[in-house]
Amino acid sequence: MTTRTRILITGASSGLGEGMARRFAAAGRDLALCARRTERLDALAAELTERHPGIRVTTAGLDVNRHDDVFSVFRSFRDELGGLDRVVVNAGLGKGQPVGSGYFEANKQTVETNMVAALAQCEAAMEIFREQNAGHLVVVSSFSAIRGMPRNMTAYGASKAGVSALADGIRADVHGSPIRVSTVLPGFIESEMTSRSGGRTPLVADADRGTDSLVRAIESERAVSYVPSWPWTPLSVLLKALPVGVFRRLV
């Protein structure tokens, strides 16, 4: 399998993005890291290059909802590193409220960030990969994409289902070419997002285990991966089959 040496990660200043950056850096990969919080990015880049002096780490501030900036930042990273081998579409937003409860703006922001901005990132990455005739697009979806979710998760789950379908379509479009497309669907992994649940999130994996599983899934370049594989792969089968009343009580 091809070793992807130049990796771009969006939403890299914290959580899963930061964790992936640390593990890829330890494996000797060159990194292009972007997020809105540039101070945290720069501190992370300085730490990684000090620990792993053989790698290059470049950073840029990026709000993925500024779509023109997505294209310009990705192209700038490509030029600086001499190409991109893997792009991880990771930036996302987790806020939301039940539909019809007066929080349209919050739900809209979640859908715009997780779906429309993800489309911009996929477009920018795939333009580069099509020009290179090579590359690995990784779309970070969510376990909540497997079926319609109730309560605060409705808009979030719908946005992640949309981005999963987007990745599926891109994968079909480039099937048989040197370009690979992977969808990873994390379950509950410790992060700033899960911490806002007030400790009520079930089956949460600690950040190290969750990130290790995520990176292994990415490196395998499988089409679709639930991470951590246990318990989320069998649960994906179970929860799809449950009657809606039982499903609602469980989630």
Q: What is the mean pLDDT of the chain?
A: 90
pLDDT in tens, 208-227: 788 999 999 999 999 999 98
- Cα torsion 61, 187, 211, 79: sign: negative
pLDDT band of residue 247 (cuts 50, 70, 90) is low
Tell which residue, 98, 102, 208, has the closest CA to residue 154: 98
Give residue 161's pLDDT. Answer: 95
In CATH, the architecture of 6-250 is 3-Layer(aba) Sandwich (3.40)
pLDDT in tens, 81-112: 999 999 999 999 988 899 999 999 999 999 99
- The Cβ of residue 108 has, within 10 Å, a number of other Cβ atoms equal to 12
pLDDT in tens, 230-241: 777 877 777 777
Which entry of 24, 77, 129, 156 is annotated as an active-site residue? Answer: 156
Residues forming a β-bridge with 179 = 135
Q: Using an 8 Å Cβ cutoff, are 9 and 31 in contact?
A: yes
pLDDT band of residue 152 (cuts 50, 70, 90) is confident
Q: Map tokens 């620990």 to a residue.
A: 51
Domain spans, the chain: 6-250
Residues forming a β-bridge with 31 = 7, 57
pTM, two decimals, is 0.90
For 100-153, where are the alpha helices, taking DSSP H only? Answer: 104-111, 117-132
* Residue 156 appears among annotated catalytic residues: yes
- What is the distance between the alpha carbons of residues 194 and 188, in angstroms, rounded to a whole number? 7
Give residue 230's pLDDT. Answer: 78
Quickly count helices (H) and strands (E) in the chain: 10, 7
- Cα torsion 35, 154, 144, 117: sign: negative
pLDDT in tens, 118-130: 999 999 999 999 9
* Of 94 and 59, the one with more pLDDT: 59
Q: What is the DSSP letter of 32?
A: E
Residues forming a β-bridge with 41 = none
**Which of 115-119, 144-148, 202-206 shows the lowest per-residue confidence on average (mean pLDDT)?**
202-206
- What is the distance between the alpha carbons of residues 198 and 202, in angstroms, rounded to a whole number? 11
For the chain, where are the alpha helices, taking DSSP H only? Answer: 15-26, 38-51, 67-81, 104-111, 117-132, 154-173, 192-195, 207-220, 229-241, 244-250
